[in-house]
C-alpha cells in the first residue's frame, strides 16, 4: 500500500516551503523539505573539505549523510544547522551540487523513505517528476522573481540582517536559470502538475487552494 503524497515544486523563495509545511500540518501529514538535503550536503562537504564539484566524493558523502530533522529543523551529526544552511553561500553550494547526477541519485531513496503513514507533503524541484512520479497531487508553485526578491528582502530585514533588493533579485534569477537549465531534473512545470502562481496571493489563500484541490480528488 502506498501512502498519499502531495508534491509542491517550484523556484527558490516562492513560498513553497511555508505552503507545504502548513498543508502538511492541516492534514496531519509528514513534511519533507527536500532542498534541506542538498543544503545540508553542501554544508557537510564544506566541513569535510570536499569541493562542490567533486561528484564522486559528494555522492559518497550523500549516501552516509548524518542528517536528521528535529522539530522541523535540519541537523547534521545531531547539531542544529538550520539557520546556517539557509544563508546565500550554502544556497549557492546546494544549487551547484544539485546539478550533479550522482548526487541526485544518491539522495533519491532517502527522500522516498519519508513516504510514511498517514501521508507526506514535500517541496523541492523534482518531487513530482522524479522522486514521487506517482504522487496523489502535484503542484508547481511560483511567483515573479521581483516578488520573490521582495519577500526574501523582508525576511532578511526582519531577522536584522542587511540586504540589497537588486542583488537579491539578480541572485534569484541566476539560481532559477541554473536550476532550470541543468540536464538532470531541471526546474520546470510538469504536464501533470497544477500551476499555483502566488505573486498576488497570500499564504493562507495558497494553502486553502492546495487543500481544496486535494479534497476534491476522487
Ligand atoms: O528549495 P531550496 O532553495 O532550499 O533548494 C536549495 C537548492 O537545492 C536549489 O538551488 C535547488 C536544489 N534542489 C534540487 O535540485 N532539488 C530539490 N528537490 C530541492 C532542491
Which atom number of ligand 1 is nearest to the Cα of residue 12?
A: 3
The CATH number that applies at residue 94 is 3.40.50.300
pLDDT at 21: 96
Tens of pLDDT along 108-150? Answer: 999 999 999 999 999 999 999 999 999 999 999 999 999 999 9
pLDDT at 13: 85
Residue nearest to atom 3 of ligand 1 (CA): 12
Report the relative pairing of strands 73-76 and 67-70 from DSSP bridges.
antiparallel
Residue nearest to atom 10 of ligand 1 (CA): 95
Residue nearest to atom 1 of ligand 1 (CA): 35
Please give the Cα distance from 49 to 59 (Å, whole number): 14
pLDDT at 1: 64
Tens of pLDDT along 70-98? Answer: 998 999 999 999 999 988 899 889 989 99
CA nearest to 124, candidates 5, 4, 3, 12: 12
Mean pLDDT of the chain: 94
**Which grid cell is 203?**
499564504
Please give the Cα distance from 86 to 117 (Å, whole number): 29
Tens of pLDDT along 188-202? Answer: 899 999 999 999 999
Q: Residue 44: helix, strand or coil by DSSP?
A: helix
Measured from CB, residues less than 6 Å from any atom of ligand 1 are 12, 34-35, 38-39, 91, 94-95, 98, 124-127, 175, 179
The CA distances from residue 199 to 8, 153, 205, in Å, are 16, 15, 12
Which range marks the domain in which residue 154 is found?
A: 5-215
pLDDT at 119: 98
What predicted TM-score, i.e. pTM, was given to this entire model?
0.92
Which atom number of ligand 1 is nearest to the Cα of residue 131?
A: 18
Please give the Cα distance from 18 to 101 (Å, whole number): 28
Share of the chain residues as helix, strand and coil, in percent rounded to the nearest 5: 50, 15, 35
Domains: count for the chain? 1
Please give the Cα distance from 135 to 195 (Å, whole number): 15
Amino acid at each position: 500500500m502506498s501512502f498519499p503524497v502531495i508534491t509542491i515544486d517550484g523556484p527558490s523563495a516562492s513560498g513553497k516551503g511555508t505552503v507545504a509545511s502548513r498543508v502538511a500540518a492541516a492534514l496531519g501529514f509528514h513534511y519533507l523539505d527536500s532542498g534541506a538535503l542538498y543544503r545540508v550536503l553542501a554544508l557537510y562537504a564544506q566541513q569535510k573539505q570536499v569541493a562542490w564539484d567533486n561528484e564522486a566524493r559528494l555522492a559518497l558523502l550523500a549516501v552516509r549523510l548524518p542528517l536528521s530533522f528535529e522539530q522541523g529543523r535540519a541537523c547534521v551529526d545531531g547539531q542544529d544547522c538550520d539557520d546556517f544552511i539557509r544563508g546565500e553561500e550554502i544556497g549557492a553550494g546546494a544549487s551547484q551540487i544539485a546539478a550533479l547526477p550522482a548526487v541526485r541519485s544518491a539522495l533519491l531513496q532517502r527522500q522516498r523513505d519519508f513516504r510514511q503513514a498517514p501521508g507526506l507533503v514535500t517541496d523541492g524541484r523534482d518531487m513530482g517528476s522524479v522522486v514521487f512520479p506517482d504522487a496523489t497531487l502535484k503542484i508547481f508553485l511560483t511567483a515573479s522573481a521581483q516578488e520573490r526578491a521582495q519577500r526574501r528582502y523582508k525576511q532578511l530585514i526582519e531577522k536584522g540582517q542587511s540586504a540589497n533588493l537588486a542583488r537579491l533579485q539578480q541572485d534569484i534569477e541566476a539560481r532559477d536559470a541554473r536550476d532550470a537549465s541543468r540536464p538532470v531534473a531541471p526546474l520546470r512545470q510538469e504536464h501533470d502538475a497544477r500551476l499555483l502562481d502566488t505573486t498576488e496571493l497570500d499564504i493562507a489563500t495558497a494553502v486553502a487552494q492546495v487543500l481544496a484541490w486535494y479534497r476534491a480528488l476522487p
